[in-house]
Structures are given as C-alpha cells and as structure tokens.
A = this chain, B = another copy of it.
Amino acid sequence: MRNRVYIDNIFRHEIADGTEVTLKGWLYNKRSSGKLVFLLLRDGTGTIQCTVYKPTVGDDMFGVADKIAQESSFTITGNIHKDERAPGGYEIQVSRVELIHQAVDYPITPKEHGPEFLMDNRHLWLRSKNQHAIMRIRHTVIKAIRDFFDGRGFTLVDTPIFTPAACEGTTTLFETEYFDSKAYLAQSGQLYAEAGAMALGKVYCFGPTFRAEKSKTRRHLTEFWMVEPEVAFNDLYDNMELAEDFLEYIVQTVLRERAQELNILERDTSKLANVKAPFPRVHYEEAVKIIRESGLPFESGNDFGAPDEAAISAKYDRPVIVHHYPAAVKAFYMKRDPNEPDKALAMDILAPEGYGEIVGGSQREDDYDTLLQRIKEHDLPPEAFDWYLDLRRYGSVPHAGFGLGVERTVTWICGIQHLREAIPFPRMIHRLKP
C-alpha cells in the first residue's frame, strides 16, 4: 500500500496535474498509430489512457508497449496530463513501461460471447467494464442497506445457516450431514431475527440464504443474499413505512453515488428518480381488479404470478405495496387481520418496470395458542418450534418485519435482465462453477 497511486486518485483530482506517478494494472485495450501507442490501463479503480510516444521511450520500450496483449499486467511510469478529450479527463504521458506478465490468448475478446461461455469464465468476465459497474452498484446497495439500519439504531443479529428442522417442508431445502444428525441450510433468518427483536428491539439479519430451486428462470438463484429487519411493536403499517423509506434510501444512494456506473449500463435513471416514499398501497382485492382490468384471467384467492405482478406495477410510476394477501397462500407465522380473518397482515413490494417482487413481509402472529394451531394446520412438527413459541410465552408483543433480496434489487436498479450478473459467482441448478 506504501505510496501506491490508483487511477481513481487521479480522477478525483487528488494528485496535481503534471505529477510523475507509477501505476500498476492490466491492459484493457490498445490502439497504435505510427509512433504512438495508446494503452488503456485498468487497475480496478478505473481505466486511464497511457500515451506511449516512441521518441520519448526509445525503440526497445516502445516495442514492449506495442506487444502488450489484452489483460497482460504491466507497470506504467509517467506524468499526469489533464486532457479534456481523454476519458476521465486525464491521461498519462508515459516515460517508462514494464511488462509484468504477458497474457496469451485471453479468452474474452471484444467480440460477442454467449452467456454460457461468459458464465464458465465468470472469474475473468468480472474484469469487464459492465461487470465492474454492476459489482460497484452491488457494493453500494449493500452499504446503503447497512447504513440505513445502523443509522436508525438497529442491531445486526447474524442468524444461523445450519438449522435443525425442515421447518417449511424439505422440497426446496438443502440438507447436509451434521455429525450424527442432519442440518438444513436456512432459507430465511426471520424466525431467529424475531428472537433478536424481542431481545434488542430493532434488529436485522443479513447473509446468504439457500433454496433448492429447480426452476431455471432468470429470477432464481440457489444461493442469494437477503436482509431481514424485524421490529418489536411494529404493526403492518409501520412495516410498510419502514420498507418504503428503506427502498427510497437504497435507490437514491445509488443514484447519487453510482451515476457513472448507471451510465455505463445505459440505465434510464428517470425511472429510478421516482422511487420516493410514500409508495402506492393496494389491497389484494383491489390488485385482483387491476389484473382483471388489464385483460388477464385471475381467480381471487390465488397468489400472483409474474405476469400478474407486471400488470399491477404497470399502473404506477414507482414501487407499489400490495397488502392483505389471502392467508391461505402465505406462511404460517403471519398474523391475520381480525377484521378480515381470511387475509394475512402481509405486504409485498413490487418493483417497477416488471421486475417483480423485491420485498416480502408481514406482521407476525403473536398469540401463543393461535400460532400453535397454525403450526398444526400446516402439518409442521410443534416440537421444532418450541423455542419459537417461547417468544409468545414470555412477554409476547406485536412485531413485524420483511425481507429484501439483494440480487433482485441490484438487477432492477442496474436494469439488467438476469439475476446471474448481480452476484459475483452465481449458483443455479446447472451452475456450480467456477
């Protein structure tokens, strides 16, 4: 780290024009023109044009520069030169080039490659400009998530990945031998976050979650990151308020801090600028009407499919909250509305532009007897929920929370088509490598 200069130090005007610097990185691209070679150097923080002029560096070093191949590593010494025409506003006038390691036949060339090829070479594909932009936006989304909750006094409660019982049926659970017994990889940290909320009031868990999804859609990963806040004494409406403030914060932070990356991805940011609370709130039965008015057949009582969600969100210019889903299509732990006993105090948030559900949450059932009855109705083993029932045995309180999927959020904000680009090393039914 000693005195190292990175390209973003130059772009952020932290080093005076004319200063001699040494940069280390990889060749992103190159063009030659007579006595000039233009090396596009990337170092992970940015890409800068390095101009190598034959009379300055001499024939030998010019020969080295001229032969550097794509993604080879090299060191450049030269003077920073402000030049409005150069990308980023600066270039390096090179006095010295040293090759570190020549890359022979780098597999990803500027030509088009198929998605399977790119996914097989994900470890290299991450070096490309668009993937950099997505990874930096992902970074900022995750930082915004944590900053939002940390700034509001939430305590992080990391929930376990290994869980003892197959609480919600085993069909989408990954199982592992756990010494002399079996463990299942958590699909959600919620039940544990509820214990955290009873202890610390306002908590969130944030980690990878696992679903053995056999579906091969562009909206499914077997391993994805999810953040789940849980707040004691919050009801459904507090939960909606928290979620909309949260989404606004994430999107506005990315717009402010990642304008350049959104530009690289050619994202229409006008659609994101609208993401401000309050969001429209639509009762399930009203949502059913919207779906039918759009011309789709829909039977009330069912859960929404992707086309139904698209029909609902098409009506609004920002995310929309759908609430009061039929209890029958929702999880056992959701509290029902005493005024509409067939409806759960549940809410989902649908992203605009057809990106579908990105938040799902509810007020939780806080009555011991009712919860026990629901567990039995769902054919779940009550003994596996002993500790969870304890939260209703000892000082039960109303509480609510939700989950937000990181990759779905990143995919939407980036305006890309497939979740697999929203995580560094995606895992899907047919994808476990690299």
Contact = CB atoms under 8 A, between A and B. Distances in A.
Nearest to A68: B395
Contact of A427 (B162, B177, B225): B162
Nearest to A4: B233
Most buried by B among A195, A200, A202, A430: A200
A397 B131 contact: no
Interface in A27-49: 27, 43-45
Contacts of A158: 138, 208, 225, 423-424
Interface string A218-240: 00001101000001111000100
Contacts of A178: 174, 222, 432
A398 to B, nearest CB: 8
A433 B162 CA distance: 9
Nearest to A131: B199
B201 A234 contact: no
A159 B423 CA distance: 9
A284 interface: no
Given A124-B394, A174-B177, A197 B44 contact: yes
Contacts of A212: 179
Contacts of A196: 126, 424
Contact of A143 (B146, B185, B225, B232): B146
A242 interface: yes
Contacts of A139: 150, 155-156
A153 B124 CA distance: 21
A22 B177 CA distance: 49
A207 interface: yes
Given A1-B231, A208-B208, A395-B73, A157 B424 contact: yes
A423 B185 CA distance: 17
A176 B210 CA distance: 12
B160 A425 contact: yes
A296 interface: no
A162 B100 contact: no
A109 interface: no
Interface in A81-131: 100-101, 103-104, 106, 121, 123-124, 126-127, 131
A123 B387 contact: yes
A159 B142 CA distance: 14
A395 B135 contact: no
A208 B214 CA distance: 24
A198 interface: yes
A127 B6 contact: no
A348 interface: no
A164 B425 contact: no
A72 interface: yes
A9 to B, nearest CB: 9
A397 to B, nearest CB: 5
Contacts of A45: 153, 200-202
A242 B1 CA distance: 8
Contacts of A233: 4, 24
A106 B394 contact: yes
A153 B9 CA distance: 10
A196 B136 CA distance: 12
A192 interface: yes
Given A44-B202, A176-B175, A222-B162, A425 B192 contact: yes
Contacts of A73: 395-397
24 contacts: A1-B231, A2-B238, A8-B153, A27-B395, A44-B197, A44-B232, A73-B397, A104-B393, A106-B394, A121-B390, A123-B195, A123-B387, A123-B391, A127-B199, A138-B156, A139-B150, A139-B156, A146-B146, A159-B425, A160-B424, A179-B429, A179-B430, A207-B207, A386-B434
Given A100-B397, A103-B393, A131-B199, 9 more contacts: A1-B242, A26-B395, A27-B395, A103-B395, A142-B156, A159-B425, A161-B161, A162-B223, A195-B434
